[in-house]
């Protein structure tokens, strides 16, 4: 089920910021836990990327769906605006 897109001028930007911020939190949390568990730097980064990617599939479904819906809504508006502009440009000039 798709979540409702975020409305307003900041819809896509806010959805992107929320999703990206949550992804960063998941990565940093995974990285920190791996460092505490004794993994060395490069291995911790690699495994934190894998763990946070897998976790984000399940934990960030709603923000990801909101981002997708906001992008689809913006794309729909832009296409409608482009079509309206094309129709205005195709009209013969009024004399």
Over residues 50-77, the pLDDT tens digits come to: 999 999 999 999 999 999 999 999 999 9
The per-residue pLDDT of the chain, averaged, comes to: 89
DSSP letter for 8, please.
Answer: S
Look up the pTM and report it.
0.77
DSSP 55-86: HHHHHTHHHHHHHHHHHHHHHHHHHHHHHHHH
The structure tokens 């990206």 sit at 20
Res 10 pLDDT > 60: yes
What residue ranges do the domains of the chain occupy? 11-84
In the Cβ-directed half-sphere of 5, how many Cα atoms lie within 13 Å?
18
Per-residue pLDDT, 52:
97
pLDDT band at 78 (very low <50, low <70, confident <90, very high): very high
Per-residue pLDDT, 1:
52
Contact between residue 63 and residue 15 where contact means Cβ atoms under 8 Å apart: yes
Question: Crossing angle for the helix pair 41-59 and 11-37, nearest 10 degrees?
Answer: 130
Instruction: Give dist(CA 36, CA 34) in Å, integer.
Output: 5
């Amino acid at each position: 089920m798709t979540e409702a897109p975020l409305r307003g001028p900041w819809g896509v930007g806010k959805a992107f910021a929320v999703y990206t911020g949550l992804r960063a939190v998941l990565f940093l949390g995974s990285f920190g836990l791996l460092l505490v568990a004794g993994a060395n730097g490069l291995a911790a980064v690699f495994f934190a990327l894998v763990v946070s990617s897998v976790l984000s599939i399940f934990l960030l479904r709603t923000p990801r769906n909101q981002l997708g819906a906001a992008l689809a809504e913006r794309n729909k508006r832009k296409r409608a605006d482009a079509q309206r502009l094309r129709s205005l440009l195709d009209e013969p000039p009024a004399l």
